Chains A and B, each alone.
Chain A
Amino acid sequence: MDTIIEPREPRTQPAGVEPGYPQTEWRWPSQPLQRRPHTRSELSGPQQVLRRLKPVRGDLAGYGEKRAIGQLIHLRTRIVDEDGAPVSGAAVEIWHCNAAGKYIHPNDTHDAPVDPNFYGAARMIAGETGLIELRTIKPGAYPTAGEDRWWRPPHVHFSVWGKVWLSRLVTQMFFPGEPLNEHDAVLNAVRDPGARSRCIARLLPGSEGPDNALVYEYQLVVRGRRAAPGMP
């Protein structure tokens, strides 16, 4: 087997139950997670997810009369493994709310305007260098529903398939300089400050393209590294 998955440093991941996020106490297991040996089953994975899931749009912003409201951004995300090697061909799902903080989803009851020109979901394949480029608008902040509500800072959801089953990654990306980042129960569930800061994209100086989009760079590290030769 050429990929190995090693245990993670707990402080670089959310613990599970999170004070300030009541649903976590209803859903996260009360018992410690079981340890298991890794076999071919866990260390293989679908190489062609897109045979089941069709690609969906690579541009969420639109043009002209169909242009979505909001600051235009180019979101440039690189998918790498723990060795820093690009995961070429990785399938990636991206979704986020509109500039007013409204999702295209029947469960979003927040009273904010829908943008008829904004859809908000894309499914793409990383190129040879592990790069995913998405043209979209910067999402807005919005209040959560239910008890203990708080305002979510602007964020973008990612779902990524790495090389093996155990490298599946579902996460959220944040924007730099947002005052709400400091108070967000999701981002701050990651206790390690370095790990938290790596969940925040980097704004590049200037702008690019004919429509002067702002450019954000981001890196997603999926689990897994190459086994050294001679290892089982």
Chain B
Amino acid sequence: MNRLIPTAEMTLGPFFPREFGQGANDLTPARGEVIEISGSVIQLDGKRLDNVILEIWQADAQGRFDNPEFVGWGRAATDANGKYSFKTIRPGAPAGRAPHINLLILYSGLMRQLQTVMFFENGADPVLDAVQPVALRERLIAKKRGNAYVFDIRLRGEGETPFFGD
């Protein structure tokens, strides 16, 4: 069968409609432990960026991706202080995986989407274990503060977050 070539990705640009970035960062109510995930998206010079779009995809509390009662997708935009936040539930462990949240980042000047993954703790996971060198893996572990998790994303430069190319 002839295979079509996927369309080229291009930058989101600086004018993604504001309203499109709002109103989709709360995945509750849903069965499970309610948590907050927040952080900043930081560029080379340390600046925390405004109006970055982050999207997440996660399992439900049982580790399932096909629960009709739970839409495991959400979107947040960073605010003028460069902060994003999601209210969601802590995902369970999907088969063969540690609990995790997939993240993608869209922004002006990012020519393609950037993909990364947030983990809750440093344990065995085929995706986390694929990250090289090993020392970078801890950058994918969120910092726990009570029921809140902080996950900063450094696009480039010191402490750069590992990103995945698929």
Task: Determine, out of A28-36, A62-70, A125-133, A207-215, the stretch whose residues face the partner at the interface.
Answer: A28-36
| Contact segment of B29-37, B70-78, B141-149 | B70-78
Interface bracket on B: 35 or more
Instruction: Say how far A185's CB is from chain B's closest CB, in angstroms.
Output: 9
SS class of chain B's interface: helix, strand, loop or mixed? Answer: loop
Given A7-B166, A26-B43, A36-B164, the answer on whether A41 and B17 have CB atoms closer than 8 Å is no
A15 within 8 A of B: yes
Q: Residue A176 at the B interface, CB < 8 A?
A: no
B18, B19, B55, B65: the one within 8 Å of A168 (CB)? B55
Q: Which of B1-54 contact A (CB under 8 A)?
A: 1-20, 23-24, 43-45, 51
Q: Which residue of B lies closest to A190 (CB)?
A: B8
How far apart are A98's CB and chain B's nearest CB, in angstroms? 11
The interface residues of chain B lying within 8 Å CB-to-CB of A107 are 14-15, 51
Given contacts A23-B108, A44-B66, A45-B57, contact A83 B100 (CB under 8 A): no
Q: A30-B160, A52-B73, A171-B8 are in contact. Are A39 and B166 (CB under 8 A)?
A: no
Where the two chains meet, the residues of A that have a C-beta atom closer than 8 Å to any C-beta of B are: 5, 7-9, 12-16, 18, 21, 23-42, 44-46, 48-49, 51-53, 56, 80-84, 93, 95, 97, 103-108, 120-121, 123, 145, 157, 159, 165-166, 168-172, 186-187, 189-190, 194-196, 198-199, 219-223, 225
